[in-house]
A = this chain, B = another copy of it.
């Protein structure tokens, strides 16, 4: 039986605490990781524990770090993550952006010297909860995407999130990697011996392939669009935007730097977080009503298949969250065993299947 959200979240907190993360940071990080799992963004929650454990033991993440503000104006902040895990860094940065947006209408905070921060959408949603528009991007550690026309990995999954308040509890919430599909989707096809659709990946020589095993043989993921004729230059261009906002602006190491994540010490991932008050331009309630009407009209679009209605960004994740709040958060047996091993080796109590 899956653990409840509360147990799931507490388990993560126990592991993070066992890693010497300060208590408030651990509570906050466990909340953000559990948010991802609750919303079905399974690649960004508990499944990251083995990776985080590896990185902290290799000295690539400093679990004792606390974010500090190294530069600030009424509209902006530069946060130094101190080499820590990204969640608390990005949350602190978005808090600063929100405070500034509440005062002057807009705030931008960037983070350098950080690490993986989980799901972008969480931070964009923080802005929505303050009645604001939120926009968030982050650089990635893994280099696995080849640019359009390329036969070499140069970019990461390079996600972008954008959120705006509409009906209460039903914001527009886009949270997307700028790749065609997540690496996990390609792995799933390989595990099932199924071909992948054209555009999901290219071989090591840059040519298209429908064999998901090509990625393990030196192939690459593709930018959104999939192929040159599907306009993969657009996904590639968006990933450029994400890297410029997340890394170049904050002074974090560029994904194209040969020393990216290979410098001595921690990882130096960068994040970008923006909060914008719609009240700068019109009555904020009118703005929210327009966003709500926009989303409602989109949902009412005639569907190609009545069994698959048209959704709006954020809808699928909210449905998953409603279900998992009732039924608990499922974690596959393989992953669960790995996390239990990490917990045991770290000296953390195990509460998930006791």
Contact = CB atoms under 8 A, between A and B. Distances in A.
Interface in A124-162: 133, 146-152, 154, 162
A122 interface: no
Given A150-B303, A281-B250, A174 B294 contact: no
Interface stretch (A9-17, A31-39, A229-237, A329-337): A229-237
A256 B297 CA distance: 6
Nearest to A107: B106
A291 interface: yes
A231 B177 CA distance: 10
Interface stretch (A43-51, A60-68, A71-79): A71-79
A219 B180 CA distance: 24
A172 interface: yes
Interface residues of A, number: 85
Contacts of A250: 281-282
A203 to B, nearest CB: 9
Interface string A301-327: 111110011111100000000000000
Interface string A247-261: 111110010110000
Contacts of A303: 149-151, 206
B76 A281 contact: yes
Interface string A217-241: 0000000111101110111111011
Copies in the complex: 2
B230 A197 contact: yes
A115 interface: no
A294 B176 contact: no
Contacts of A202: 304
Contact of A180 (B147, B180, B230): B230
Contacts of A227: 197
A108 interface: yes
A199 B227 CA distance: 11
B233 A230 contact: no
B154 A298 contact: yes
A348 to B, nearest CB: 37
Contacts of A287: 248-249, 251
B104 A233 contact: no
B237 A108 contact: no
A344 interface: no
Nearest to A109: B281
A74 B73 CA distance: 14
A298 B249 contact: no
A73 B104 contact: yes
Contacts of A207: 304
Interface of A: 71, 73-76, 78, 104-106, 108, 110, 133, 146-152, 154, 162, 164, 172, 174, 176, 178, 180-181, 197-199, 202, 205-207, 224-227, 229-231, 233-238, 240-241, 243-245, 247-251, 254, 256-257, 276, 278, 280-282, 286-287, 290-291, 293-294, 297-298, 301-305, 308-313
Given A108-B280, A148-B310, A254-B290, 14 more contacts: A75-B104, A75-B280, A148-B311, A150-B303, A174-B241, A178-B234, A180-B231, A197-B229, A206-B304, A224-B231, A238-B238, A248-B278, A254-B294, A257-B297
Q: Which 6 A-B pairs have the closest CB atoms?
A: A206-B304, A256-B297, A174-B237, A237-B313, A76-B280, A150-B301
